[in-house]
Amino acid sequence: MAGPRPDGTENFVMQQTMMRVKDPKKSLEFYCDVLGFKLIHYSEFPQWKFNVYFVAPVDSSTVGATQPQRWNHCMNTPGCIELTWNYGSENEEGMVYNTGNADATGFGHIGITVPNVYTACERFHKMGVEFHKSPNSGGMKGLAFIKDPDGYLIEVL
């Protein structure tokens, strides 16, 4: 596992993680306003009744103005989050998707790094973000877990 990457994989990049969302407006507000990500690209697929929104922690001045430029930027940006909205899910009661939190053997969380965990968490608290774990709770100090509008966990390091 250590050493050079296998031949043919040198330029492979972990480009995205896809998460289904119940309400794209709430999710975009969370990822863009709370976490500071930018909407890089979106596509609508009415024939299949879903839309996708790609967000990432980038400088919006680098993204480009046209859809082809935005798509190219998206495909060349490591660590994007693809928020997928299935039409009608916003009208369903309660949690719609399995976040992996109830069954500890499934999806766990995504993680972000910040300059100062305590300062970031103070900001999140003021913005009304739900915490799963604050930086000083539990046995592991100096890291936190917050929840997005769909209940997905985000580790803050």
- Tens-of-pLDDT digits for all 157 residues of the chain? 899 999 999 999 999 999 999 999 999 999 999 999 999 999 999 999 999 999 999 998 999 999 999 999 999 999 999 999 999 998 988 777 777 777 666 788 999 999 999 999 999 999 999 999 999 999 999 999 999 999 999 999 9
> 154 and 112, same structural domain?
yes
Q: Which two tokens stand for residue 142?
A: 């100096």
Provide the b/e sequence for 96-130 (b: ≥16 CB within 10 Å): bbebbbeeeeeeeeeeeebeebeebbeebeeeebe
Is 98 within the bounds of a domain?
Answer: no
Calpha distance 55→112 (Å, rounded):
13
Domain count, the chain: 2
Of 55, 90, 125, the residue that ends a domain is 90
Which CATH number covers residue 63? 3.10.180.10
| 155 included as an active-site residue | yes
> 63 and 26, same structural domain?
yes
Q: Of 93, 122, 130, 155, which residue is the catalytic one?
A: 155
Work out the end-to-end distance of the chain between its first and last CA atoms, rounded to an integer number of angstroms: 25
Query: How many separate helices (H) and strands (E) can be counted in the chain?
Result: 3, 8
Q: What is the domain extent for residue 112?
A: 107-157
> 79 and 28, same structural domain?
yes
- In this prediction, residue 104 carries a pLDDT of 67
> 54 and 26, same structural domain?
yes
Is 41 within any annotated ligand binding site? no
Q: Which two tokens stand for residue 69?
A: 């430029």
> 84 and 31, same structural domain?
yes
Is 16 within any annotated ligand binding site? yes
Q: Which two tokens stand for residue 17?
A: 């993680």
> 121 and 79, same structural domain?
no
Is 7 within the bounds of a domain?
Answer: no
